[in-house]
Structure 1
Amino acid sequence: MAVPVVVLAADSSLPQQWQLALLLVLVPLLLLHLVASCSGKGGGRRLHLPPGPPRLPILGNLHQLGSLPHQSLRELARRHGPVMLLRLGSVPTLVVSSAEAAREVMKARDADCCSRPDTPGARRLSYGHKDVAFAPYSEYWREMRKLFVVELLSARRVRTAEYSREAEVEKLVARLRSSAAAGTPVLLEDHVFALMDGVIGTVALGNIYGTEQFAHRSHFHEVLDEAMSAKAGFHAEDYYPNALGRLVDRLTGAAARRERVFRDLDAFFDTIIDQHMADPPSSRGNGSADLIDVFVALMEERRRHRHDEGGPLAFTRDHIKGLLSNVFTASVDTSSVTMVWAMTELIRRPAMLRKAQEEVRAVVGGGKARVHPDDVAKLRYLKLVVKETLRLHPAVPLLLPRETLRPVTICGYDVPARTRVLVNAWAIGRDPRSWGQDAEEFRPERFEEKPRDAVGFGGTHFELVPFGAGRRMCPGMAMGVATTEFTLANLLYCFDWELPEGVRSQDVSVEEAGGLTAHKKTPLLLVPTAYKPAALSAQ
């Protein structure tokens, strides 16, 4: 499911070290702004640009982005319309906040709006855009996406990954049973993050990921957290893509931090690639190839044919690392966030929680210790809960930024080439025009009512776009949803859940934390009680 370098700051209030740096560059930037304004005046057809809020010199509209940009942008859209043009620093940015406008961007004009902006964090952490998520639209991107989907995210691979999901869910259930026996509350996010890390790590890197050979795995988690933070943080060059932006990033330490995170991530990737090259599938007991094995074989094959006339595109270690960066940063965090929000909404509504549990336990029956993958297809209400969670709490509220390749018309407005485009999936999922006056309410039953009974998140219904749509739709949707539904089903089947003593369901906060993904600001602390089916109890 996710995640990417987001173009909006995690916190728009300028850090203290910025104040001096901005003073150093304010005057020359102002002069450049005035020169650009004067040079832009002249003949030619007057563009019919989208409306937007007034701008300040230099900052543009940056000062109007709060700690939760998707919420700030929705408030601005309520005043200026669902197609809105802002200037974030020196970067023109189109924000769309309705299903109609999203359809224009991601379907009708998708070929014109399907590239990615070149931002410093994305460029460095993707090894010069040698990935899928942040690579500009090109022949290279098309080939890499095809490879990525076939080798990791196809229906065949999702089925192949079932063994990993089952193994990690068994570990999760065992850990939670220990906590239940001790009567201690658990931080649910920590447990589901560990599960997702195990699933994705095993699918990508093989069974070695869970062995003692990966004793440095905990360090990798820290590096991964740093990488996510670096991508979501405030970088001057994101908004001032010139020498001055680079200077400010150096003065504030943002560039040095990005480089340190890159070195740590690079060292980890080198280690796992070297291990796979030294221990090929043929030398292992089961002889099965994981994702790294496939990539290493492709690298060796292309190296042999690199001089062939009209031969395939190059594929190097950096390409492998760029794709691995997508695998981990875009999968682990986003699915974990969705599971935590689903459990948060259910624990706040005891009747819904009981309904979901009764369905799971009726479908599974009393003779199993946990839910099996085949059971999930029969869990209609659970699927509605997941869909409603994705509507209200998309893991990446603004999706990943797009960029227009050429001038384009969106909902009757002229949008110049090289304009950054943000699709506010969070606002679209809460739009009363699509979802009625109870759009802010968590109500899974809405998807049983016409006309919303047919609405899905597969990229064809633009009132629900948690994974995007069109060419740049998240390719990990199938795997992410399968893991989320299977894990939630087991959490509901294997345990009864309560809040810690003294905490009422209405007191559970749904406040979000700022960042690339929309985490719950207050950790979800729950008390599990192990459930043992009657049939197993009698044995």
Structure 2
Amino acid sequence: MSSLPFIPAAIATLVFLYNLLHFLIRPAKPLPPGPKPWPLVGNLPHLGPIPHHSIAKLAREYGPLMHLKLGFIDVVVAASASMAAQFLKVHDANFSSRPPNSGAKHVAYNYHDLVFAPYGSRWRMLRKITSVHLFSGKAMDDVREIRQEEVKIMIRALAMAGREPVRIGQLLNLCATNALGRVMIGRRVFGDDSGKEDAKAEEFKSMVVELMVLAGVFNIGDFVPALAWLDLQGVEAKMKKLHKRFDAFLSAIVEEHKVAGSGERHHDLLTTLVSLMDSTADEEGGKLTDTEIKALLLNMFTAGTDTTSSTVEWALAELIRHPHILSRVRDELDAVVGRDRLVTELDLPGLTYLQAVIKENFRLHPSTPLSLPRIASESCEINGCHIPKGATLLVNVWAIARDPDVWSEPLVFRPERFLPGGDKAGVDVKGSDYELIPFGAGRRICAGMSLGIRMVHLLTATLVHAFDWELAGGQAAENLDMDEAYGLTLQRAAPLLVHPRPRLSPHVYNA
């Protein structure tokens, strides 16, 4: 206790020494422009409750290449398509690793996962495993029926909803989790075949949302290491507690699977991962471990479920707000699919207007509004500015897709811009068109992008095709709350509560 009075003096000394060192080794080239930092905490107070909004506002003042000082950490922000291309294409190799952060340490098995693992042989091994065994075109085609079966279960549950309003995001999350669970571990994770919510599903959803919220917090300890031990925001304590819950959940799955696998063999990703533990021993990345298997499962069950359900929830909200667009999507679905069956993935390539709607939804509501951070392995120069070694890179995906210099009527939901003849007809979401990069770009582009695109299209198409929608409480569509709640993923501030009304042939809902 006697050492406590010396803490402020020690911090002041650290700040002075840091500033002196920074002055003595200033580079010849200037840093990018940015707001003046506060003592000790830097620009952290500038971030506000919704950082991608605050950073976008700052970029309008200081430019699309901006420097922030978050605590002791240099942060560069790319807030335009051209700047994103500089970092994620021209200098991609230099920005292919992640900076140290408390989330990766305390939740993601101390950087043993795919999302936060340092760029190198171990990361390449994990990426190769998921690319070949989970996200390749053949792997996804092989389990197409599983995804469609889970969507049917969800549709039956919606058809039986009765008079109570449905929290659609919850059911979407349940569907995405069970579809992924059957592919990854050979069984549904939650509930029975009724598709109804259960306590475990609710708990899992809350765990995932808590993880995304905690991961989206700018934790002072990450940016002022001298203060990390104080855990001023209580973030690290919450992360450690959450990790224990996730680890118990994942460990139970792995153990149950091993017991079941001793008899009947499963054909799922977990079986494949276990079999690869020995076969990967001689590869460049070394042997696959139990920890890495659980870390991969954690990635898939979080990044692969909440992002999908929240994106579809935003899409349905936009369509309810724009009934003329909803009507056009539905007319296309009725023409291609009819009213005697549900949409399948094989129908999706023929749904041109739906594809434009989904692109527009990805533009306005990217699941990760601020890209996952990257770190500069070496110093470099971009646009005549010095980018120091160790600087953290943030790409404001949300702001780039609303740039008025690139997008006409950027705040208007207008899918027609992506149709043949539209001003953005050739723009895609797969990482080559930097004005629209909801999945990122470059080496660290989202590994599950192909699955995410399929699921968002299938779920949105099915909901629009199978039901008419009314907002709960008789709310008018034009008054629907579209505010955002910030976390690592872009959640709605107010969950979408709706009444589904079946519109297809009755037998479709019982098939």
Please give the range of the TM-score, normalised by the shorter of the 2 chains: over 0.9
Structure 2 Cα separation of the partners of residues 534 and 315 of structure 1: 49
Corresponding residue for 1:439?
A: 410
Structure 2 Cα separation of the partners of residues 517 and 311 of structure 1: 33
**Structure showing greater relative contact order (alpha-carbon pairs closer than 8 Å, 6 or more residues apart):** 1
Corresponding residue for 1:357?
A: 330
Matched, 1:205 2:189: no
Residue identity matched to 1:499: L
Give structure 1 stretches of 5+ with no counterpart: 1-21
Matched, 1:174 2:152: no
Corresponding residue for 1:30?
A: 12
Structure 1 Cα separation of the partners of residues 474 and 243 of structure 2: 44
Aligned length: 500
Structure 2 Cα separation of the partners of residues 343 and 211 of structure 1: 24
Matched, 1:237 2:215: no
**How far did residue 79 of structure 1 move?**
0.2
What CA deviation, in whole Å up to 9, does each residue of 1:208-256 have, x standing for no partner? 53577x996655444434433332345332212x3x332221x654333
Counterpart of 1:293 (choices 271, 274, 291) is 271
Task: State the secondary structure of the residue aligned to 1:229.
Answer: helix
Is the 2:345–2:454 contact (alpha carbons within 8 Å) kept by the matching residues of 1?
no
Task: State the secondary structure of the residue aligned to 2:500.
Answer: strand
**How far did residue 502 of structure 1 move?**
3.6
Residue identity matched to 1:293: T
Structure 2 Cα separation of the partners of residues 408 and 311 of structure 1: 29
Matched, 1:56 2:27: no
Corresponding residue for 2:195?
A: none
Corresponding residue for 1:511?
A: 483
Counterpart of 1:261 (choices 235, 242, 252) is 242
Residue identity matched to 2:267: A
Counterpart of 1:342 (choices 315, 322, 326) is 315
Counterpart of 2:402 (choices 430, 435, 438) is 430
What CA deviation, in whole Å up to 9, does each residue of 1:279-307 have, x standing for no partner? 22x832xx4421111111112445xx5xx
Structure 2 Cα separation of the partners of residues 195 and 231 of structure 1: 24
1:254–1:211 Cα change, 3 Å: closer
1:345–1:219 Cα change, 3 Å: closer
Tell me the C-alpha RMSD between the 2 structures: 2.4
Task: State the secondary structure of the residue aligned to 2:173.
Answer: helix
Residue identity matched to 2:36: P
**How far did residue 311 of structure 1 move?**
7.3
Structure 1 Cα separation of the partners of residues 360 and 406 of structure 2: 14
Is the 1:202–1:210 contact (alpha carbons within 8 Å) kept by the matching residues of 2?
no
Task: State the secondary structure of the residue aligned to 1:104.
Answer: helix
Taking structure 2 as the reference length, what is the TM-score of the superposition? 0.92
Is the 1:110–1:470 contact (alpha carbons within 8 Å) kept by the matching residues of 2?
yes
Structure 2 Cα separation of the partners of residues 185 and 219 of structure 1: 20
1:283–1:347 Cα change, 3 Å: same
Is the 2:219–2:233 contact (alpha carbons within 8 Å) kept by the matching residues of 1?
no
Corresponding residue for 1:128?
A: 110
Q: Which structure 2 residues correspond to residues 299-318 of structure 1 after superposition, within 5 A?
A: 299-302=277-280, 313-318=286-291
Which stretch shifts more, 80-89 or 123-132?
123-132
1:161–1:25 Cα change, 3 Å: farther
Residue identity matched to 1:270: S
Corresponding residue for 2:175?
A: 195
Task: State the secondary structure of the residue aligned to 2:119.
Answer: coil
1:504–1:27 Cα change, 3 Å: farther
Structure 1 Cα separation of the partners of residues 306 and 508 of structure 2: 35
Is the 2:304–2:448 contact (alpha carbons within 8 Å) kept by the matching residues of 1?
yes
Corresponding residue for 2:139?
A: 157
Is the 2:108–2:298 contact (alpha carbons within 8 Å) kept by the matching residues of 1?
yes
What CA deviation, in whole Å up to 9, does each residue of 1:38-64 have, x standing for no partner? 223337752221000011111110111
**How far did residue 359 of structure 1 move?**
0.8
Residue identity matched to 2:416: E
Runs of 4+ in structure 1 off by over 6 angstroms are: 534-537
Task: State the secondary structure of the residue aligned to 1:498.
Answer: strand
What CA deviation, in whole Å up to 9, does each residue of 1:506-538 have, x standing for no partner? 10121101211111111212221111249989x
Is the 1:107–1:470 contact (alpha carbons within 8 Å) kept by the matching residues of 2?
yes
Corresponding residue for 2:503?
A: 531
**How far did residue 162 of structure 1 move?**
1.2
Corresponding residue for 1:418?
A: 390
Corresponding residue for 2:164?
A: 184
Structure 2 Cα separation of the partners of residues 401 and 340 of structure 1: 26
Residue identity matched to 2:221: E
